[in-house]
Amino acid sequence: MKVAKTIDEIRRLVADARVGGAGLVGLVPTMGALHEGHFSLIDAAAGECDFVVVSIFVNPTQFAPNEDFSSYPRPVENDLSGCESHGVDAVFAPSAGEMYPDGFAATISVSGLTESMEGRHRPGHFDGVCTVVAKLFNIVGPDVAYFGAKDYQQSAVIRKMVADLDMPLRIAVCLTIREADGLAMSSRNAYLDDAERTQAPALYESLCLAERLIREGERTAARVIESVQSLLGEKAPLGEVDYVAIVDPDSLAAVEEIEGDVVIALAVKFPSARLIDNMFVEMKNAK
């Protein structure tokens, strides 16, 4: 496994792989602190692609001033060891100066999809995500890029960016990987203290409640949301609910009456970490 710290280095590694006969090149963009969720993406890439690149870059432009950029975990040696054990061919681990040199002034924005949920609560977040992901796509030139379904809104925004800008790659969105108690795996889970960790599975429990209500025939989104908020208040009192939303899977527009497939998404802010989760509900099997 090669580790590249500059744009020129990773481009050369990918070019050499293609000259050497690599067909599909896969990219797994990460901010490091890798866990089984990330490794599931890497495994998916390795199963489909001839050359797998993992980027490890804690992107400063997607953090608000009051967020956890400076404290975000950076266990570099563990991340590199994990990548090697999962068959990664190259890791791209640039510095902030390499990605954003002096005078950098470009930003990519995707309107519409970014204005609700995470976009409303984290202004500018998706501009930072889109800009760095577009740069990674241009730098690495992958045929397929792999993202996790836990960040549903992010994956929808990136798919829209790729479609609108005619970027020549496919976006693969892989299933959320969960702990045994249902908590979605996240690098930020490590921030939780014991009491918060005990309450955090309530996020998934509340999503399961919402799905059950819908499958049993509830069609008014407001009533489902009220039930979710009530369960979170009871089971996760240390957390502050940022939002609970029921949205159209494509437009991410809020749904009032549930008539087709929906995504239930939520964010809860614990004292030590803000967690997000979601669930896709397919209506063809509902009452």
Catalytic (active-site) positions:
38
The radius of gyration computed from the CA coordinates of the chain, to the nearest angstrom, equals 19
Distance in angstroms between the alpha carbons of the first and the last residue of the chain = 51
Instruction: Report d(CA 160, CA 146) in Å as an integer.
Output: 15
E runs forming strands in 203-261: 240-247
Instruction: Report d(CA 2, CA 88) in Å as an integer.
Output: 9
E runs forming strands in 150-248: 170-174, 240-247
Segment (H or E) for 9: helix 7-19
Left (φ > 0), alpha (ψ -120 to 50) or beta: where does 146 sit?
beta
Closest listed residue to residue 139, CA positions, set 195, 189, 99, 82: 99
Q: Token match 């993992």: residue?
A: 54
